[in-house]
Amino acid sequence: ETGVTQTPRHLVMGMTNKKSLKCEQHLGHNAMYWYKQSAKKPLELMFVYSLEERVENNSVPSRFSPECPNSSHLFLHLHTLQPEDSALYLCASSPGPGYEQYFGPGTRLTVT
């Protein structure tokens, strides 16, 4: 595997389900990010981790819970989501905060 990978690529879940999104980077980077992108809308930064420490949380609802066990892996735990949470969820990594970011392919999430 190279670059930034995300699984699953597609996810359909009910409002009462619990699921997790996984991101892995193979670039030796120290910073990882979660973004949300709704249809025809700009990127929304959700969380930033630098050296496994959360450094930014942009007023994201508590039904989204990030986890960064090491510098290569990032998770987004989802529970009791709303239909308006349906979007493309993108993971990115960079050598450090403020450097160029490399994106994974994204997880297309649909909440029914």
Partner 1 sequence: QKEVEQNSGPLSVPEGAIASLNCTYSDRGSQSFFWYRQYSGKSPELIMSIYSNGDKEDGRFTAQLNKASQYVSLLIRDSQPSDSATYLCAVNRDDKIIFGKGTRLHILP
User: Which residue ranges make up the site for partner 1 (CB under 8 A)?
Assistant: 42-43, 56, 88, 90, 94, 96-106, 108
CB of 3 to partner 1, least distance (A): 10
Is 37 or 72 the residue whose CB approaches partner 1 more closely?
37
Is 22 or 63 the residue whose CB approaches partner 1 more closely?
22
CB of 45 to partner 1, least distance (A): 8
Side-by-side strand order, sheet with 64-70: 4-7, 18-25, 73-79, 64-70
Dihedral of alpha carbons 15, 19, 20, 21, sign: negative
Is 15 or 90 the residue whose CB approaches partner 1 more closely?
90
Asked if residues 23 and 45 have their Cβ atoms less than 8 Å apart, the reply is no
CB of 31 to partner 1, least distance (A): 9
Asked if residues 29 and 71 have their Cβ atoms less than 8 Å apart, the reply is yes
